[in-house]
């Protein structure tokens, strides 16, 4: 089975700083990690590989430093890594990001399964995987929280639709966006981390893509602009009480009962 996993390097924490001119997050100096949802996607791929003979390719889009995310994936067990890196790709929104990912993935042939995280912890739109499925012309399943890889060639998935959970038996090629709770990501292995240092990362630039029109990528190819980033306003008043133990127990009980009634 040939599996592509899309991962993104995100800031380990955010100070909410934004470049006023470009509307882009300022990431300089902040520690970067692999998006936790994408680690769940990679873990899903690794679990499939444990059951069925597979090759896992990891794709990430970003500056050269994003290669670190691929090294991390190697330490977890990914086979090949592709860094989609070109100045033309900078500042991309959902539309341009998903288009670039599609072009990059197609430049390496076809896959039986594309795995993505449901969302990222920085942009947080949760839209890239759906848009990527559309560009690739593949069926896309978002919010997948369970995957059964035993049994026949097909995959059985549970897709969380908010009010209901849909159970599907699907076959590739397709795209699955997984919930972060689908699997607990494994810890990176020492042996694989040591080997990762000697593994190659393939860089994909604009020149490697079928569509080389720079107007379709990055800021130029984006349909949206970020106007402002700000922490949500805390509007809900929180009552602080410091009652004696018995009164506190009564208050807690009352709150729980009220809450249940409200539901």
Partner 1 sequence: MDKQLIYPMAEKYQEYLIDESKFSGTADSISFPESEAEISMILKEMKRSDTPITIQGGKTGIVGGAVPLEGHIMNLREMNRMKEFQRQDAANGLITVEAGMSLAKLQEVIARETRKNPLIWPPSPTEGTASIGGILAAAAKGTGAFHYGDTRQYVQAIRLIDGRGKVQYLDRWVQADSYLLDQILGGEGIYGVITEATLILVPDYEEKWGISFFFKELSQTDSFVQGLLAADEECQNNIIAAEYFDKNTIDQIEARKSNMAKIKEIPDVEDGNKHMVYVEIGGSEEEIERTAAILMELAEESDSDAESAWAVSGETEIQKMHAFRHAAAETANLLIEEARRTEPRITKLGTDIPQKHKTLKEAVELYQSDLNSEGIDFCMFGHCRDMHLHVNILPKTYEEYQKGKEMIGVWIKTVQHEEGKIGAEHGIGKLKKKWRDYILSEEEQQQMLELKEVMNPDGIWNKANIFGDE
**Which residues lie near partner 1 (CB under 8 A)?**
12, 29, 31, 33, 36, 75, 184-194, 197, 242, 244-245
We find the least distance from the C-beta atom of residue 134 to partner 1, in angstroms, to be: 31
Cα distance between residue 142 and residue 91, in whole Å: 25
Residue with Cβ nearer partner 1 (51 or 184): 184
Torsion angle defined by CA atoms of residues 44, 109, 122 and 221, in that order, rounded to the nearest 10 degrees: -160
We find the least distance from the C-beta atom of residue 189 to partner 1, in angstroms, to be: 5
Listing DSSP states for 234-259 in one string gives --S--------HHHHHHHHHHHHHHH
We find the least distance from the C-beta atom of residue 119 to partner 1, in angstroms, to be: 17
Residue with Cβ nearer partner 1 (23 or 188): 188
We find the least distance from the C-beta atom of residue 195 to partner 1, in angstroms, to be: 10
Residue with Cβ nearer partner 1 (27 or 80): 27
We find the least distance from the C-beta atom of residue 225 to partner 1, in angstroms, to be: 28
Torsion angle defined by CA atoms of residues 24, 29, 31 and 33, in that order, rounded to the nearest 10 degrees: 40
Residue with Cβ nearer partner 1 (245 or 262): 245
The burial of 206, by beta-carbon neighbours within 10 Å (0-12 exposed, 13-18 middle, 19 or more buried), is given as: buried
We find the least distance from the C-beta atom of residue 238 to partner 1, in angstroms, to be: 18
The burial of 83, by beta-carbon neighbours within 10 Å (0-12 exposed, 13-18 middle, 19 or more buried), is given as: buried
Residue 97: how many other CB atoms lie within 10 Å: 26
Tokens for 18? 């934004």
Tokens 């639709």 correspond to: 161
Residue with Cβ nearer partner 1 (194 or 256): 194
Tokens 């470009």 correspond to: 22
We find the least distance from the C-beta atom of residue 49 to partner 1, in angstroms, to be: 15
Residue with Cβ nearer partner 1 (15 or 124): 15
Longest Cα separation, the chain: 71
| Alpha-carbon distance values, 36 to 6, 102, 190 (Å) | 12, 22, 20
Residue with Cβ nearer partner 1 (173 or 188): 188
We find the least distance from the C-beta atom of residue 191 to partner 1, in angstroms, to be: 5
- Helix, strand, or coil (residue 27): coil
* Residue 196 CB partners (closer than 8 Å, separation 6+): 71, 74, 75
Residue with Cβ nearer partner 1 (39 or 102): 39
């Amino acid at each position: 089975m040939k599996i592509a996993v899309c991962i993104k390097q995100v800031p380990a924490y955010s100070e909410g700083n934004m470049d006023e001119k470009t509307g882009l997050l300022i990431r300089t100096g902040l520690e970067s990690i692999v998006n936790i949802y994408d680690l769940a996607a990679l873990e899903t791929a690794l679990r499939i590989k444990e059951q069925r003979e597979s090759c896992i390719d990891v794709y990430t889009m970003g500056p050269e430093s994003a290669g670190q995310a691929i090294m991390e994936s190697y330490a977890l067990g990914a086979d090949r890594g592709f860094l989609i890196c070109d100045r033309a790709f900078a500042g991309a929104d959902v539309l341009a990001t998903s288009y670039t990912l599609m072009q990059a993935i197609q430049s390496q042939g076809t896959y039986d399964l594309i795995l993505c995280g449901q969302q990222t912890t920085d942009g947080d739109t949760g839209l890239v995987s759906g848009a990527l499925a559309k560009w690739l012309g593949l069926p896309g399943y978002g919010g997948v929280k369970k995957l059964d890889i035993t049994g026949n060639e097909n995959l059985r998935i549970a897709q969380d639709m908010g009010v209901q959970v849909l159970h599907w038996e699907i076959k590739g090629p397709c795209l699955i966006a997984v919930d972060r709770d689908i699997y607990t990501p494994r810890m990176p292995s020492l042996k694989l981390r040591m080997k990762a240092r000697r593994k190659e990362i393939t860089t994909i630039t604009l020149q490697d893509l079928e569509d080389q029109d720079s107007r379709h990528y990055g800021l130029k190819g984006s349909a949206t602009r970020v106007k402002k980033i700000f922490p949500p306003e805390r509007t809900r008043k929180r009552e602080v009480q410091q009652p004696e133990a018995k009164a506190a127990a009564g208050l807690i009980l009352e709150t729980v009962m009220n809450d249940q009634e409200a539901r």
